[in-house]
Amino acid sequence: MEALYFVPEMLFYVISGLILLSSIMVVAARNPVTSAIFLVVDLFFVAALYAQLDAHFTAAIQVLVYAGAIVVLFVFVIMILNLKPDALRGIRFSLGEALVLLITLAGFVIVGSELARTAPDLTTPGNLGSAAIEMAGGNTYVVAMRMFTAFLWPFEMASVLILLAIVACVMIAKKDKRVTKS
Amino acid sequence: MGMNLGIDFSSLLQWNDFTVDLAAFAVKFAILVGGLLQLPPLLVWIERRVPALMQRRRGPNRVGIFKWRLYGLLQSLADTVKLIFKEEVVPDGAHKVFYHLAPVFCVFPAFLVACAIPYGPDLAIYGYKIPLSVVRMDVGFLFIFAISSLAVYGVALAGWASNNKYSLMGSLRASAQMISYEIPLGMSLIPIVLIYGTLDLGKIVEAQNSFFQWGVFTAPVSLLIFVICMFAETNRAPFDLAEAEGELVAGFHTEYNSAKFAAFFLGEYVSMFVLSCLASTVFFGGWQVPFVSYDALVTMLGSPNFVAPIGILMLLLKAAFFMWVYIWVRWTLPRFRYDQLMFLGWKFMLPIGLANVVVTAIVLAVLRFK
């Protein structure tokens, strides 16, 4: 069985390549709808990466929440505003932006080479393999147990924060309406 | 870096867990896709014959082979051939790439979701256990919702890329409707997850081993919500506002013709089938035979491999019932108004769904406390 680890490893490189490609396309595409669709593709492949790590629960939630709900709203807004490709400028860099890009690339190269140098042996499964997850009672069980015992308060605080954001959004939207009426 | 992949192809040439999984996956996937492709012609025929029956008309009854008319069964074949060979007209102002991609976005999630349905009990071949769903995973439930939520993009893109105001209106309506009804649909299934304690569809079916443990008895309110949302999710009557022909010509696929138009049909019918299968799996015991437990069947027939065909047949029968309900309702109820649809979704279905979850949780907590 050990000899078959090349299949997941190859898959990992393919998926990572697709993630990189679609991420670049999100930024580079001139049409906002194209960007949004590449964002969906991007999120989908990130979910594939999670699934490859045996984190099926996280993978499913990733697609359900991000690709299935949040980006749909992006697409909606783009369609309703009817943004034309011309409304956005193409890729042109000012001096400052070019500098930032260069520094980012340099940082990427440094971190990447450091990671490559100290990379663990990828051919042996770690202690979070599929067998270990199965033993612990499955993905969903483990996530739920951690979330609702050890991390209950942070989790609830996060949901309150999100609720706050929703209420704030409603308030802002309402205020706008009153101004236009008067 | 692990660039030396150490590829040992010899392990691919013998039967082990990995190669058996791979081969079984390929065979199951081929059978499933082959089977699903036969669905739309058959369903279109039923959808024309059934209302004819209801309205005392004849419906298509001519096209058959030579002198056998077969009740017009081959009408759909003729229609399909016609659709495929029709000239393809792409509107001038259409966004070419997305115009061609949209039907793919519609069909792909429907087929992917069909892979997660358990169609029968596990097969046992030479000591290898082969589950009768194309992929069996411990989060089958979430997988189905995750992938089917992607179907919205097909509809949204089709309307936007056609560069037609009716298409855009139709697609906005359809996608808003699909997003709104996805929430109560998910809510309606949470009690099932609570009751059976798993997200694995295979285990949910196994848990419905005796007749009165079927989801329809343990969670009747869920069934009601699920069935209503099922219609809205697939944009079928009485919720087919997206293609209200009196207002919107044909909705999001107004500008589509030939094979791409057929692809939208394929996506719609396959997702109808998948939701019917899901309803049968969750509420009507899936592949379980009523009143006879799985173990009794295995001892009766001698091997689990003989039970599997019966299981598949049971699931297909149950799914066929829901498909019939789809068509039955379409030709019985008039269409809703759009605001009524949204009102029903957000102010009626969602609160009931939430209350259902809370009540189920409390009842389960009390039962387990004793």
Whether B15 contacts A8, CB under 8 Å: no
Residues of A in contact with B2 (CB under 8 A): 9, 119, 121-123
CA pair distance B275, B366, nearest whole angstrom:
32
Given this model, what pLDDT does residue B262 score?
84
At B38, the amino acid letter reads: Q
Specify whether the CB–CB gap between B325 and B331 falls below 8 A. Answer: no
Q: What confidence score (pLDDT) does residue B359 get?
A: 92
Which residue of chain B comes nearest to A9, CA vs CA? B5
What band does B2 get if pLDDT is binned at 50, 70 and 90? very low
Give yes or no for a contact between B201 and B117, defined as CB atoms under 8 angstroms apart. yes
pLDDT tens-digit readout, A138-176: 777 888 888 888 888 998 999 999 999 989 888 887 765
Residues of B in contact with A119 (CB under 8 A): 1-2
| Residue with the larger pLDDT of the pair B213 and A134 | B213
Residues of B in contact with A40 (CB under 8 A): 150, 153
Position A178 confidence tier, pLDDT thresholds 50, 70, 90:
low
Give chain A positions within 8 Å (CB) of B12.
4
Are B275 and B321 contacting, i.e. CB atoms less than 8 angstroms apart? no
Nearest CA in chain B to A57: B139
Task: Decide if B284 contacts B308 (C-beta within 8 A).
Answer: no
Rounded to whole angstroms, the Cα distance separating B25 from B18 reads: 10
| Count of C-beta atoms within a 10 Å radius of residue B188 | 27
**Count of alpha carbons within 13 Å of B320, Cβ hemisphere only?**
10
Q: What is the pLDDT of residue A122?
A: 61
For residue B166, is pLDDT > 60?
yes
For residue A4, list chain B residues with Cβ-Cβ distance below 8 A: 8, 11-12, 18
Most A CBs within 10 A among B14, B141, B180, B199, hence the mutation to make, goes to B199
* Angle at which helices B220-233 and B258-283 cross, to 10°: 180
CB contact under 8 A, B18 and A10: no
> Is the CA virtual torsion A167, A173, A177, A178 positive or negative?
positive
Q: What is the pTM of this model?
A: 0.82
- The distance of Cα A165 from the centroid of its chain, to the nearest Å, equals 20
Average pLDDT of chain B?
Answer: 83
Identify the band that residue B157 occupies on the pLDDT scale cut at 50, 70 and 90: confident
DSSP B65: B
What are B176's two structure tokens?
Answer: 């808003």
Using an 8 Å Cβ cutoff, are B192 and B204 in contact?
yes
pLDDT band of A19, cuts 50, 70, 90:
very high
Q: Is the separation of the CB atoms in B238 and B336 below 8 Å?
A: yes
CB B263 within 8 A of CB B110: no
Q: Going by C-beta distance under 8 Å and a sequence separation of 6 or more, which residues neighbour residue A174?
A: none
Residue B164 pLDDT grade (very low, low, confident, very high; cuts 50, 70, 90): confident
Q: How far is CA A142 from CA A55, B136, B190, in A?
A: 11, 19, 18
Find, in chain B, the residue whose alpha carbon is nearest to that of A41.
B150
Using CA atoms, how far apart are residues B188 and B220, in angstroms rounded to an integer? Answer: 10
The 10s digit of each residue's pLDDT in A70-101 is 888 888 888 777 666 655 555 566 788 888 88
- Supply the pLDDT for residue B239: 80
Alpha carbons B302 and B358: distance in angstroms, whole number: 44
- Taking each helix axis from N to C end, the angle separating A71-81 and A32-52, rounded to the nearest 10 degrees, works out to 170
What pLDDT does B3 receive? Answer: 44
Number of neighbours of residue B23 by Cβ within 10 angstroms: 13
Angle at which helices A6-28 and A32-52 pack, to 10 degrees?
160
Dihedral (Cα; B302, B306, B308, B310), 10-degree rounding: -110
Instruction: Give me the residue spans of the domains in chain B.
Output: 91-369
Q: Which residue has the tokens 């706050």?
A: A164
Residues whose CB falls within 8 Å of the CB of residue B154, separated by 6 or more in sequence, listed in order = B102, B103, B104, B105, B106, B107, B109, B267
Q: Is B2 on the interface with A (CB under 8 A)?
A: yes
B156 with A79: Cβ contact below 8 A: yes
The answer to whether residues B270 and B36 touch, using CB atoms and an 8 Å cutoff, is yes
